[in-house]
Amino acid sequence: MRPPVTYSGRRGQQGMPHRILVVDDEPDLELLISQRFRKRIRSQELDFTFAGNGVEALEKLGADGEMDVVLTDINMPVMDGLTLLSRLHEEHPLLRSVIVSAYGDMANIRTALNRGAYDFLTKPIDFQDLEITLDKTIHEVTARKQAAADRDVLLTLRKELEIARRIQESLVPQKFPPFPNRQDLEVYGSMLPATQVGGDLFDFYFLDQDRLAFTIGDVSGKGVASAMMMAVTRTLLRASAMKGLAPAACLDEVNQILRRERVSAMFVTCFYGVLDTRTGEIEYSNAGHNPPLLLRADGGLDATELTGGLVMGQFARASYQSKRTRLGRGDTIVLYTDGITEAMNAAREEYSEPRLKSLLAHSAGKAAEDCVRAAMEDVNSFSASAPQSDDMTMLAIKYIGTTAGEGKTQ
């Protein structure tokens, strides 16, 4: 029984015949092959093209790039089969070749196999053996072509993911310090996606001379879809914030849009706050996100009070409330995603919130950048031997305050 001949690429899908180039200087061979395979030729399963020598074969291959198999004799005028095999290996690497030689001509057969021939037949040709050999070779070459097509798709996908990664990076603040002319606060953030692109976000921007808006969020899942959801959420939240809406109203507006336009079951957790740099007061609202930590200058550590808000993008009737807290001089608010506290080591132990709090307590009084870097390095050290399973993001804002006469130009 012949092995099945299938190809999941363009030919198999459209029912096109598999193309075989026969290279031999014996004129009777074309007639014999046409008669032997007449049923499969008529059913458009196989299609044969003939050439009298290696030079003619290369010309036909150059004009028709759809050949699958080359069946070639070794002894031919102008260009013999062994020379042709060397050229095929260089110029048509996806083709499979079968050589035909006299019985007992093992020296040439071995040379042909060393030059890339897939199989061989001996003269006089046994046509039943030829048919089995061709089917086996076609099965092999279609697998090679499919693998090459899959590789090309993978390379294209990798390029697209790299572009997506660069786009995502452009949406997340990269320049630090972001406000070099301001002496009343420090801001530093870091995001490490689990894959090339991720679903975490952090952002900050001034609404006016004195009020800094800041946010952190986490889209369910990972990959391109989550990254797109992240980009949409960031844009919507910025647009709402620029209207001057209170934090709770901003989250409510974003939730309504995400819920109305959603095309999947993804959702977003988000914390959005506004820091008044004149007083250190923060007005904020939380949509199901980890409550940020308030690192006091004296080493004390508190969590921001929850506001009871649900995740965004799932519930049309979700409601959000605003609350207030205050940073004293030297205090830092630290925002993070659960990729930090739920990072696992090789023993499948979580990094945990208590460990994060302990680490941050030792960072009291330090710069915002030092707090974030120390935490990220500790998480990476903890889980170094285990693969990263979730995006890891942190944002720290240290309130320094102003003294009389200090400028606050951005």
Instruction: Tell whether the model's pLDDT for residue 4 goes beyond 50.
Output: no
Whether 261 and 291 share a structural domain: yes
Same domain, 234 and 360: yes
Residue 329 has pLDDT above 60, yes or no: yes
pLDDT value of residue 311? 95
pLDDT of res. 8: 39
Is the pTM here over 0.75, yes or no?
Answer: no
306 vs 393: CA distance, rounded Å? 20
Same domain, 181 and 119: no
Return the pLDDT at 78: 87
Distances from the Cα of 166 to the Cαs of 17, 152, 236, 372, in angstroms? 43, 21, 20, 22
Together in a domain, 350 and 314: yes
In the three-class reduction of DSSP (H, G, I as helix; E, B as strand; rest coil), residue 31 is classed as helix
- E strand map for 4-138: 18-23, 46-51, 69-73, 96-102, 119-123
**Are residues 380 and 289 part of one domain?**
yes
Domain count, the chain: 2
Examine residue 4 and state whether it is found in any structural domain, yes or no: no
Residues 249, 137 within the same domain: no
Domain final position from 89, 115, 150? 150
- In this predicted structure, the answer to whether residue 46 has a pLDDT above a threshold of 60 is yes
pLDDT tens by residue, 171-210:
788 899 999 999 999 999 999 887 767 789 999 999 999 9
Pairing of strands 185-192, 392-399: antiparallel
Residue 155 lies in a domain: no
- Looking at the structure, tell me whether residues 250 and 340 fall in a common domain: yes
Do 146 and 292 share a domain, yes or no?
Answer: no
The residue segments making up the domain with residue 300 are 168-399
Residues 17 and 43 sit within 8 Å (Cβ to Cβ): no
Compute the mean pLDDT over every residue in the chain, rounded to the nearest whole number: 87
Least confident of 69-78, 154-163, 307-316: 154-163
For the beta carbon of residue 147, count every other beta carbon within 10 angstroms: 11
Rounded Cα distance, 204 and 214, in Å: 4
Q: Of 116, 150, 184, which closes a domain?
A: 150
Peptide bond into 180 cis (omega under 30): no
> Mean pLDDT, to the nearest integer, of 222-246?
88
